[in-house]
Each structure stands twice: as structure tokens, then as C-alpha cells.
């Protein structure tokens, strides 16, 4: 039982990390939808390879599916190049067409074979550990761990070897081209990786979760860091956390593991989206509020500063008259005065406001700018 | 100037077409070494396309481009490129120093990572453009003029002989513009050839010593004093230029 827990989590982590790494570049290239397209469009490749080999475990399946994946990218780009169809529409046209070819092939010729649609869409992590790898009669663990482990190693090697090239081609493809780095080649290299990863992962976790694993962790990491290398590392970590947390969520509520991991991915993204310092929604809202009060306070001190020592100063410094002079709502004026008092920019005697030394400096600085 | 001296850039009979629409039509251009040349012309005249064709980024329908007597592919290392600022995603997770180091990638070649030497060269280039205080700044937090200077520094670390720049003055303030011009003139003093796509006719005479007037076809090219004439400008802009500064 414990072994099973460990096996499933291991598969989930390895798969999540393998997906997150190329996912980073898809997110930066604004191509995450392409992973969605690939994950569906590989179906006819799988079916055809299955007809050829009559086996579901042949490595030819992965190769054929990866081939179909790359073909999807080519189709989308050819359509796009006509300039008659935009990228999103091109994706929307291509992958349902390929996917449905796969569906038709299954329903027409493979009705009695174990290749059903549920498995395709959702996969079944819970069963993944049952398919085990035997070497000389020894059980060395689930096949999925080895398949995904190999793919993870492949992705890692590619990214480590071509890190500089990937970065340049993603940031500035035309500079990459002028320097002789063949951005098209890099692009298709990356797309081949995405296809292989999708195929491998989809066998274990289904096509829906694949997209969540590819897009979710990188999109989350993108909010946290502004360094590419850190974004890759964080994506891998976030992907693993989502996988483990999702697994236990599924265990707790006795629901689909793939579904729970996808939910966890969204949840973690949402939390980061709200709470990450500097760039999170809450940080932004707080900064806006603070800026609003800062700005109003500056207006107040400038107003007092301009009239300081002049005959009309007394009337202008009257709290009750602020709304008139600055066209502020009385309630708002009262709050601004409170804010400025707290910051020791003004002092109040009865209804009269006077600038403090600090308030004077603030006003002077604001006027110089 | 001897006729035998190699030209920095030699474009002959260059025609570029998108579908059936010619964008550049039978364009010739000879750029001698050590000049600061601006390409001017109305919108849609093919200025950017010409730069891209020289760099092999667009495939010409006909014609030939030589950099110091050899095709661009053989001379990559000699050519520095400053694309338009708007062509990249400034939200990309990287900092100023890192972007400048990208200029060294060509010299490094495939798979080799930038190291200490590249870092130092990038620092020097940033000092030249007055951006040394911003090395670790995330690129999305730069102003337009700062972005432009980062791009310029990235071209400088390429240590090229020929520079091609697509609108380096776009959206920069007057101070930055002056700083960039001084830098371009320094490059020329060092014998580099600088080709700049330019929009402001009023500054052509001040900034550049050569000019090319382009509107799909080449109207004229040569030293500013001889080429930047009211007549040529009228041909280029179809009589829509009401002012001529000389």
C-alpha cells in the first residue's frame, strides 16, 4: 500500500517536472495553446501505430505520436503563413480535425480493443503503477517512471545544452537568425520535445492534465521571478508540489488524481497570483491605495506650503475649508488630514493645520520634481 | 578613394516582394567603409525590409548583397544589428546585463556559455551608453530610451565592422538622441560603417554624412551634401515635403 502511494507520487512528480521545463519556453513564446493542440492531435498517430504494431506498449507509439505532434505544429504554421487565418483559429482548426480522425479510426476499426476515450482524455494515474517493468524477473518499478524519467532527462539535456540558444531565440528571434542560430531549427527542436513529452505524459496522466502541467507551473513561476534560470527551477518545484498535493487531495476526497492535480495547479497559481510580493494582485492593490493617499497628502502639504506666511493662510489652513479649496469630499479631506497627521507632515491645533518641518520638506521636494 | 577598395555593403538589383507586391524594386546601394549613412523615405518605402534583406532575414526575389565582397552568411561576425525596439517582448524574464551579453552569442557559437569575459565586455558596452547603473535591472522596468540604449550596447559588444540599425531614435528623448548620435559618430571615427533607418528629415544633415533616399526604388544615395537635395526629396516623398532644411 505504501509502495503504491510512493509509486504514484513518483510518477506524478517526474511527469510534472518533465512537462514544466519545456512549458517555460511555451509560456514565454505565448504558445501554451500549442500543447493543448498537440496533446489532442497525437491521437491518430497513436492509433495508426497501434494498428501497425498491435501493441499498446511499443515505443513506436511514442515516436508516431510525437511525429503527429510535430505535424500539428507544421499544419498550424502553414495555415498561419497564408495570412488568411490567425494563430488561435489555425490551432482551433487543426487539432480537432486530427483528433477526430483518431476518434473515427478507433470507433471504426478498434471498437473491441482496449483504447478507450476516457483513458485518452483523463488517463488514470491510479493504474499507472500496475504496469511494471521486469528486468531478469526482478520488478524494478512502474514502466511510467522509466518512460517519463527518460523524457525528463531528454528535456533537461536539451535545455542545458541549448539554454543560451533557446533564450536568444525566444527573446529575439531575428537577432538569433542574424547571428546564425537558426531559430526555426530551435523552434522545431522544442516542439519535438513538447510532442514527445506530451505523448509520454498523456499515457500516464491523460491529455487534459498534460496541458495543466505544461502551462500551470511556468505561468506561476513567471509571476514570482524575473530570471529565466530561476523560472525553470521554480517551475519544476511548483510542478512537483502540485503533483504531491494533488495526489493527497485525491486520496482524501477519493477523486480522480489527474483532476485533483489540475485543481491544485490552478489553486497554487491563484494563491501566487494574489499574494506574491510586488507583482501579486493584493500587492498591487495596496500599492495603489498607498499611492492614492501619498498623492493626496502631497497635494495637501503643497497647498499649505503655498499659502504659508501669507495673509490668507488662516482661511486656507482651516480643516473645514479644505474640501472647498482642493475640491475634496469632506470625508475624504478628513481622511487625508488623518493620514498626514499620522505621517507627521502636518500638525493640528483646533481646526487649524500647520506644516511641520517634515511636511515642508515633502512639499519642497514635490515642487522641485 | 580608389575604385579597388572593398565596399562595406554592396547591394545590387535587389527586389523583395510579399506575394505579388514589390516592397523593394531593383535597388542598388554601395556603402563605402567608414561612413554614417541614413536611409530615409516615407512609410512603406521598404527601409526596414532593406535592412532585413541585407541581414538575410527576408529572402529577396532577385538581387545580391555583399558585405566586404562576401555574402552575409560568410560575414556574420562583422555585422551588428539593432532591431526596432518593439520587436521583442520586454516582459521576458531577464536583466539588462544579460540582454547585452546576447551580443556575444554569435562569437561564442553553439552550446558555449557566456562567462567572465563576456560579462566584462557587456559592462564596458553599458558604460559607453551610460547604462552601467542598470545592469541588474529587469528589462520591463526600463524607459523607452533606456531600452534603446540597451539594444545599442548589445550591438556594441558584437564588436562589428558594419552596423545596421532600425530606427534607433524612435521614442527616445532629445538627450538620449544626442548621446546615441555621438556614439554613432565615434563608431565612424573608428572606421566602422553605420547604416541607420531614420525618420527625421530635419536632422539628416546634422547627424549623417551619407544618405540614401528610398521609396520602393532607390531615388538617390551618396554624400549628404550632394544627395539630400530638394529635388531628390520631392521625388522620394511625392511632393509632400513642404519644408527643406539646408
pLDDT in tens, B81-109: 999 998 999 999 999 999 999 999 999 99
Residue A278: which pLDDT band, with cuts at 50, 70 and 90? confident
Q: Which of B137, B148, B132, B156 is nearest to B85 (CA)?
A: B148
Which positions in chain A touch B102 (Cβ < 8 Å)?
Answer: 167-168, 171-172, 175
Q: Is pLDDT larger for residue B115 or for residue A312?
A: B115
Q: Is pLDDT larger for residue A319 or for residue B61?
A: B61
- Three-state DSSP at A138 gives strand
C-alpha distances in angstroms, A217 versus A65, A145, A149, A196, A315? Answer: 24, 20, 19, 19, 59
Q: What is the pLDDT of residue A114?
A: 59
Q: Which of B52, B93, B154 is nearest residue A227 as measured by Cβ atoms?
A: B93
- Residue B245 predicted with pLDDT over 50: no
Alpha-carbon torsion (B45, B49, B53, B58), positive or negative: negative
- Determine, for residues A162 and B79 on separate chains, whether the beta-carbon distance falls below 8 Å: no
Which positions in chain B touch A180 (Cβ < 8 Å)?
Answer: 73, 76, 106
Q: What is the pLDDT of residue B93?
A: 95
> Which of A203-217, B87-101, B183-197 shows the lowest mean pLDDT across its residues?
A203-217
Which positions in chain B touch A161 (Cβ < 8 Å)?
Answer: 111
Q: Which of A175, A178, A228 is nearest residue B94 as measured by Cβ atoms?
A: A228
Q: What is the pLDDT of residue A115?
A: 58
- Residue A138 predicted with pLDDT over 80: yes
- Determine, for residues A170 and B87 on separate chains, whether the beta-carbon distance falls below 8 Å: no
Summarize the confidence of residues A180-208 as an average pLDDT: 87
- Residue B127 predicted with pLDDT over 90: yes
Q: Which CATH number fits domain A282-368: 3.90.79.10, 1.10.10.10, 3.90.45.10, 3.30.56.10?
A: 1.10.10.10
Q: What is the pLDDT of residue A141?
A: 83
Residue B167: which pLDDT band, with cuts at 50, 70 and 90? very high
- Residue A59 predicted with pLDDT over 90: no
- Report the complex ipTM: 0.90
Q: What is the pLDDT of residue B82?
A: 94
- Residue B70 predicted with pLDDT over 90: yes
Instruction: Name the residue ranges covered by the structural domains of chain A.
Output: 2-277, 282-368
- Determine, for residues A226 and B56 on separate chains, whether the beta-carbon distance falls below 8 Å: no
**What DSSP line would sit under A53-103, residue for residue?**
H--SS-HHHHHHHHHHHHHHHHHHHHHHHTTSS-HHHHHHHHHHHHHHHHH
Summarize the confidence of residues A24-42 as an average pLDDT: 90
Phi, psi of B158 (to 5 degrees): -65, -20
Supply the mean pLDDT for chain A.
Answer: 87
The percent of residues in chain A predicted with pLDDT above 70, rounded, is 95
- Residue A323 predicted with pLDDT over 50: yes
Supply the mean pLDDT for chain B.
Answer: 90
Which positions in chain A touch B195 (Cβ < 8 Å)?
Answer: none
Q: What is the pLDDT of residue A259?
A: 87
pLDDT in tens, A331-359: 888 888 888 888 888 888 877 888 888 88
Phi, psi of B4 (to 5 degrees): -80, -15
Beta bridge partners of A4: none
Residue of B19, B71, B105 to mutate for A, most A C-beta atoms under 10 A: B105
pLDDT in tens, B25-57: 999 999 999 999 999 999 889 999 999 999 999
- Residue A57 predicted with pLDDT over 70: no
Q: What is the pLDDT of residue B212?
A: 95
Summarize the confidence of residues B121-150 as an average pLDDT: 93
Residue B243: which pLDDT band, with cuts at 50, 70 and 90? low
Q: Which of B83, B102, B106 is nearest residue A180 as measured by Cβ atoms?
A: B106
Q: Which of B196, B147, B161 is nearest to B40 (CA)?
A: B196
Q: Which CATH number fits domain A2-277: 1.10.10.60, 1.10.275.30, 1.10.3470.10, 3.10.25.10?
A: 1.10.3470.10
Q: Classify residue A317 as exposed, middle or buried by CB count within 10 Å of its CB (0-12, 13-18, 19+).
A: buried
- Residue A260 predicted with pLDDT over 60: yes
- Residue B237 predicted with pLDDT over 70: yes
- Residue B244 predicted with pLDDT over 60: no
Residue A249: which pLDDT band, with cuts at 50, 70 and 90? very high
The helix (H) or strand (E) run that includes residue A266 is helix A257-275
> Which of A20-24, A126-130, B2-6, B29-33 shows the lowest mean pLDDT across its residues?
B2-6
Q: Is pLDDT larger for residue A270 or for residue B21?
A: A270
Three cell numbers, residue B102:
546576447
Q: Which of A21, A180, A223, A1 is nearest to B71 (CA)?
A: A180
pLDDT in tens, A91-109: 999 989 998 998 888 888 7
- Determine, for residues B110 and A181 on separate chains, whether the beta-carbon distance falls below 8 Å: yes
Residue A123: which pLDDT band, with cuts at 50, 70 and 90? low
Which positions in chain B touch A226 (Cβ < 8 Å)?
Answer: 93-95, 138, 140
* Rg of chain B in Å (alpha carbons): 18
Shared fold status for A2-277 and A282-368: no
- Residue B1 predicted with pLDDT over 50: no
The percent of residues in chain A predicted with pLDDT above 90, rounded, is 39
C-alpha distances in angstroms, A115 versus A49, A56, A65, A121, A265? Answer: 12, 8, 14, 11, 28
Asked whether A25 and A235 are in contact (CB, 8 A), the reply is no
The percent of residues in chain B predicted with pLDDT above 70, rounded, is 95
Report pTM.
0.86
Distance CA A62, CA A57 (A): 9
- Determine, for residues B93 and A28 on separate chains, whether the beta-carbon distance falls below 8 Å: yes
Which positions in chain B touch A174 (Cβ < 8 Å)?
Answer: 52, 55, 57, 81, 83, 87
Amino acid at each position: 500500500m505504501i509502495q503504491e502511494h510512493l509509486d504514484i507520487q513518483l510518477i506524478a512528480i517526474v511527469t510534472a517536472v518533465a512537462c514544466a521545463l519545456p512549458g517555460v519556453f511555451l509560456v514565454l513564446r505565448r504558445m501554451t495553446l500549442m500543447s493543448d493542440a498537440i496533446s489532442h492531435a497525437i491521437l491518430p498517430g497513436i492509433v495508426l501505430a497501434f494498428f501497425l504494431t498491435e501493441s499498446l506498449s511499443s515505443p513506436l507509439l511514442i515516436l508516431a505520436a510525437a511525429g503527429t505532434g510535430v505535424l500539428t505544429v507544421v499544419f498550424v504554421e502553414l495555415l498561419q503563413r497564408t495570412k488568411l487565418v490567425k494563430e488561435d483559429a489555425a490551432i482551433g482548426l487543426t487539432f480537432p480535425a486530427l483528433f477526430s480522425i483518431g476518434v473515427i479510426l478507433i470507433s471504426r476499426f478498434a471498437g473491441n480493443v482496449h483504447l478507450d476515450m476516457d483513458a485518452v482524455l483523463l488517463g488514470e494515474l491510479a493504474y499507472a503503477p500496475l504496469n511494471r517493468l521486469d528486468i531478469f524477473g526482478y520488478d524494478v518499478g512502474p514502466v511510467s517512471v522509466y518512460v517519463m524519467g527518460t523524457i525528463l532527462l531528454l528535456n533537461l539535456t536539451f535545455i542545458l545544452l541549448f539554454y543560451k540558444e533557446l533564450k536568444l531565440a525566444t527573446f529575439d528571434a531575428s537577432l538569433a537568425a542574424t547571428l546564425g542560430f537558426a531559430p526555426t531549427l530551435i523552434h522545431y527542436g522544442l516542439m519535438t520535445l513538447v510532442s514527445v513529452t506530451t505523448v509520454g505524459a498523456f499515457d500516464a496522466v491523460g491529455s487534459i492534465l498534460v496541458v495543466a502541467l505544461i502551462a500551470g507551473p511556468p505561468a506561476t513561476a513567471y509571476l514570482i521571478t524575473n530570471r529565466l534560470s530561476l523560472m525553470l527551477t521554480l517551475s519544476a518545484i511548483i510542478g512537483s508540489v502540485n503533483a504531491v498535493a494533488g495526489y493527497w487531495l485525491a486520496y482524501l476526497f477519493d477523486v480522480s488524481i489527474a483532476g485533483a492535480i489540475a485543481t491544485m495547479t490552478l489553486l497554487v497559481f491563484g494563491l501566487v497570483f494574489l499574494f506574491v510580493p510586488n507583482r501579486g494582485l493584493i500587492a498591487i492593490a495596496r500599492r495603489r491605495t498607498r499611492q492614492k493617499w501619498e498623492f493626496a497628502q502631497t497635494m495637501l502639504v503643497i497647498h499649505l506650503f503655498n499659502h504659508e506666511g501669507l495673509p490668507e493662510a488662516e482661511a486656507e489652513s482651516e480643516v473645514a475649508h479644505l474640501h472647498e479649496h482642493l475640491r475634496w469630499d469632506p470625508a475624504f479631506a478628513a481622511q487625508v488630514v488623518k493620514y498626514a497627521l499620522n505621517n507627521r507632515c502636518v500638525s493640528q491645533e483646533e481646526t487649524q493645520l500647520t506644516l511641520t518641518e517634515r511636511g515642508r520638506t515633502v512639499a519642497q521636494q514635490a515642487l522641485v520634481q | 578613394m580608389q575604385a579597388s577598395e572593398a565596399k562595406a555593403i554592396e547591394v545590387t538589383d535587389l527586389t523583395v516582394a510579399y506575394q505579388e507586391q514589390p516592397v523593394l524594386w531593383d535597388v542598388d546601394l554601395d556603402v563605402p567603409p567608414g561612413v554614417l549613412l541614413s536611409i530615409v523615405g516615407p512609410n512603406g518605402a521598404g527601409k526596414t525590409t532593406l535592412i532585413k534583406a541585407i541581414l538575410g532575414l527576408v529572402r529577396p526575389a532577385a538581387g545580391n548583397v555583399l558585405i566586404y565582397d562576401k555574402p552575409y552568411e560568410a560575414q556574420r561576425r562583422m555585422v551588428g544589428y539593432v532591431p526596432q525596439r518593439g520587436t521583442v517582448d520586454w516582459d521576458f524574464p531577464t536583466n539588462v546585463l544579460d540582454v547585452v551579453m546576447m551580443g556575444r552569442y554569435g562569437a561564442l557559437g553553439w552550446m558555449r556559455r557566456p562567462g567572465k569575459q563576456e560579462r566584462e565586455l557587456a559592462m564596458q558596452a553599458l558604460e559607453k551608453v551610460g547604462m552601467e547603473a542598470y545592469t541588474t535591472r529587469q528589462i520591463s522596468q526600463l524607459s523607452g530610451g533606456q531600452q534603446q540604449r540597451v539594444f545599442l550596447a548589445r550591438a556594441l559588444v558584437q564588436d562589428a565592422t558594419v552596423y545596421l540599425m532600425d530606427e534607433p531614435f524612435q521614442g527616445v528623448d532629445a538627450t538620449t538622441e544626442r548621446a546615441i548620435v555621438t556614439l554613432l559618430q565615434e563608431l565612424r571615427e573608428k572606421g566602422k560603417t553605420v547604416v541607420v533607418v531614420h525618420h527625421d528629415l530635419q536632422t539628416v544633415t546634422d547627424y549623417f554624412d551619407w544618405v540614401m533616399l528610398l521609396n520602393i526604388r532607390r531615388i538617390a544615395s551618396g554624400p549628404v551634401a550632394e544627395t539630400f537635395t530638394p529635388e531628390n526629396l520631392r521625388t522620394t516623398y511625392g511632393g509632400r515635403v513642404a519644408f527643406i532644411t539646408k
